[in-house]
Amino acid sequence: MVTLNTTANLTQITAPRVPLIDKRTGLVSREWYRFFLSLYDLTGGGQNNTTLTDLQVGPPLAQQEDLTGLVVNIEALQTLPSQQSALEQIAELQKQIDALNITPLPNVGDFLTSSTYLAQAFTSQTSIPVTHNFGKYPVVNVIDSAGVVVVPLSITHASLNAFTVAFSVATTGDIVAVVGF
């Protein structure tokens, strides 16, 4: 039976920023040495009969003394559901899933409809008038042709249904206006 070193090992995984070779000494750094030593201790400290070839093929074969704690409870296996009852449970779950698929989605309102959302493109302009007819002041965002949200020189609301976006230089992009419920 293989016994492992059970002493507390406080060595953590070495951070990637720590070089493997210490520049001052040309040797393995202290942090990496401790990490590799902890791996060596965890794998049996050289006292394991398993070869590297065995590990590459698969895990080592279990010995009889390793299996003494395993007991199969045959009575518990006999209380498993029959194939018919398992199929009945699967059919019931499938009915519940199908019922969820036909359940109508809750009404969350008309958030992104033509009555609450407006996008208007513009090309090389310094002043863009926008008529939205929302009947209230919208939230206005401007996205330039590179996809960057920009802050215009001003956004002036002429009424509850129109505003004007002004820039200090000619700009190309999209104006997006949104109102809540």
pLDDT digits (tens, 9 = 90+) for 101-119: 776 655 555 545 556 777 8
Q: Kindly state whether residue 44 falls inside one of the protein's structural domains.
A: yes
CA distance 115 to 135: 10
Q: Which residue range(s) make up the domain with 165?
A: 117-178
| DSSP string across 113-175 | STTTEEEEEEEEEEEEEEE---SSPPEEEEEETTS-EE--SEEEEEETTEEEEEEEEEEEEEE
Global pTM reads 0.39
CA distance 140 to 67: 70
Neighbours of 19 (CB within 10 A): 12
Number of domains within the chain: 2
Judged by DSSP in three states, 59 sits in coil
- Ranges of residues in the chain with a pLDDT under 70 are 1-12, 50-81, 103-115, 181
Side-chain half-sphere exposure of 164, counting CA atoms within 13 A: 8
Q: What is the tens place of the pLDDT at every residue in 67-89? A: 665 565 556 656 666 777 788 88
* pLDDT value for 109: 52
Q: Which residues contact 90 (CB under 8 A, 6 or more apart)?
A: none
Q: Kindly state whether residue 145 falls inside one of the protein's structural domains.
A: yes
